[in-house]
Amino acid sequence: MKTAIYNHFHPEEKPFVDRVLEWIDRSALQHELKRTDFLDPRQAQILAMLANRYPDVGIRLDGGCDDAERVRALIAPDYRHLDDEPMGIAVLEARASGSTYQDLDHGDFLGALLGLGIKRDRIGDIHVHDTFAHVLVTDEIADYLNVHLRQVHRLNVLTDVIPLGKLQTVASKLEEISLTVASMRLDGIASDVYRVSRSKIVDPIRAGRCRVNWKTEENPAEPLKEGDVVSFKGLGRFKVLEVDGVTKKGRIRVKIGKFI
């Protein structure tokens, strides 16, 4: 049975599929409640797909705010009312300890947290404002971070754990790029977005360093569609915002949003 399930997923996803199947089995057979760490959108999708195969198991996904990218999951027997169960999500607020504040970004805060030995799956979305940041974390590590996070990049910070209701979110910022392309091939669009030759974009795709909608994509010719989110290790990510018809010369007009 597992072999048939594996056929629906990329080989690198097999260990996570095994973990999900174990969580589901324990909920279905032993009536356990499982609260996961934070999942990325692809992992959440895999969990939902597999849970749908088991009518006696229910799940709840929550990242602490509407439209959260990273979410925790509750997995339990279907008779259990999950809306009343705590998700175990805390908000860590970080502010500059002095009067000055330099520009910091998502990567600066993530790097500082990982530098304290925190695993990536304990960290949810990171909302960086002009003078502070709100970081969603599992409540198990909130007090530890409140004591130990004292520097982000070169900036000294002071922290506090605040109620989830005081979370201030930040919408993703996109730099819009208008392109005309011969086709919707992944390699062609990515080379235009990152302004590198197509030959230089093909190698990282084939090496497994590209993800489309958080799923590894190794085919340079894979067609993209409106709404797809593409990421390359070391290059950042972009979203296909709009596919807007064809020019007189037969090229496709595409609007891209590059995450900044």
Whole-prediction pTM: 0.86
Cα–Cα distance for residue pair 190/199, rounded to 1 Å: 11
Give the pLDDT score at 154: 87
For residue 259, what are its two tokens?
């995450």
Give the pLDDT score at 141: 98
Q: Among the residues of 52-134, which ranges form H helices?
A: 106-115
Q: Say which CATH topology domain 174-259 has.
A: 3.10.290
Interhelix angle 14-30/41-51, rounded to 10 degrees, is 40
Give the pLDDT score at 96: 87
Rg (CA), the chain: 21
DSSP string for residues in 144-166: HHHHH--EETTEEEEEEEE-GGG
Strand partners, 82: none
Give the pLDDT score at 58: 97
Pick from 166, 170, 168, 133: which is nearest to 149 by CA?
133
CA 74, distance to chain mean position in Å, is 18
Give the pLDDT score at 102: 73
Give the pLDDT score at 172: 84
Query: Per residue of the chain (260 residues), what is the pLDDT tens digit?
Result: 677 888 889 899 999 999 999 999 999 999 999 999 999 999 999 999 999 999 999 999 999 999 999 999 999 999 999 999 999 999 999 998 876 667 788 889 999 999 999 999 999 999 999 889 999 999 999 999 999 999 998 899 999 999 999 999 998 889 999 999 999 999 999 999 999 999 999 999 999 999 999 999 999 999 999 999 999 998 999 999 999 999 999 999 999 999 98
Strand partners, 78: none
CB 236 within 8 A of CB 258: yes
Q: Say which CATH topology domain 2-84 has.
A: Ribosomal Protein S8; Chain: A, domain 1 (3.30.1370)
**What is the domain partition of the chain in residue ranges?**
2-84, 89-166, 174-259
β-pairing, 155-162 with 151-152?
antiparallel
Give the pLDDT score at 195: 95
For residue 29, what are its two tokens?
């057979």
Query: What phi and psi values does residue 181 have, to the nearest 5 degrees?
Result: -125, 155
Give the pLDDT score at 149: 97
Report the run of H or E that residue 232 belongs to, with start and end. strand 229-232
Give the pLDDT score at 8: 86
Domain 89-166 architecture: 2-Layer Sandwich (3.30)
